Chain A
Amino acid sequence: AQTVTQSQPEMSVQEAETVTLSCTYDTSESNYYLFWYKQPPSRQMILVIRQEAYKQQNATENRFSVNFQKAAKSFSLKISDSQLGDTAMYFCAFIEGTQGGSEKLVFGKGTKLTVNP
Chain B
Amino acid sequence: KAGVTQTPRYLIKTRGQQVTLSCSPISGHRSVSWYQQTPGQGLQFLFEYFSETQRNKGNFPGRFSGRQFSNSRSEMNVSTLELGDSALYLCASKDFVSYNSPLHFGNGTRLTVT
Q: Determine how close the nearest CB of chain A comes to the CB of B82; give it in whole angstroms.
A: 22
The verdict on B107 contacting chain A, using a C-beta distance below 8 Å, is yes
The verdict on B92 contacting chain A, using a C-beta distance below 8 Å, is yes
Interface residues on chain A, size class: 20 to 34
Q: Which chain B residues border A100 with CB–CB below 8 Å?
A: 55
Q: Which residue of B lies closest to A48 (CB)?
A: B102
Cα A91 to Cα B45 in complex, Å, equals: 14
- Inter-chain contact B43/A33, CB cutoff 8 Å: no
Q: Which chain B residues border A109 with CB–CB below 8 Å?
A: 42
Q: Which residue of A lies closest to B4 (CB)?
A: A44
Cα A107 to Cα B35 in complex, Å, equals: 10
Q: Which residue of A lies closest to B100 (CB)?
A: A33
Known: A45-B105, A91-B43. A102 touches B50 (CB 8 A): yes
- Inter-chain contact A43/B88, CB cutoff 8 Å: yes
- Inter-chain contact A103/B56, CB cutoff 8 Å: yes
Q: Which chain A residues border B31 with CB–CB below 8 Å?
A: 101, 103
Q: Which chain A residues border B58 with CB–CB below 8 Å?
A: 104
Q: Which residue of B lies closest to A49 (CB)?
A: B102
Q: Which residue of A lies closest to B96 (CB)?
A: A101
A45, A50, A106 — which one has the most chain B CB atoms within 10 A of its CB?
A: A45
- Inter-chain contact A43/B43, CB cutoff 8 Å: no
Cα A33 to Cα B31 in complex, Å, equals: 18
Q: Determine how close the nearest CB of chain B comes to the CB of A49; give it in whole angstroms.
A: 10
- Inter-chain contact A47/B102, CB cutoff 8 Å: yes
Q: Which chain B residues border A105 with CB–CB below 8 Å?
A: 33, 35, 43, 45, 103
Cα A110 to Cα B56 in complex, Å, equals: 24
Q: What would 5 A/B residue contacts be, using CB atoms closer than 8 Å?
A: A91-B43, A101-B98, A105-B43, A109-B42, A110-B42
| 15 further A-B pairs in the complex, CB-CB below 8 A; given A33-B100, A44-B105, A109-B42 | A43-B108, A44-B107, A45-B105, A50-B102, A52-B100, A91-B43, A97-B99, A102-B48, A102-B55, A103-B56, A103-B94, A103-B103, A104-B56, A104-B58, A105-B43
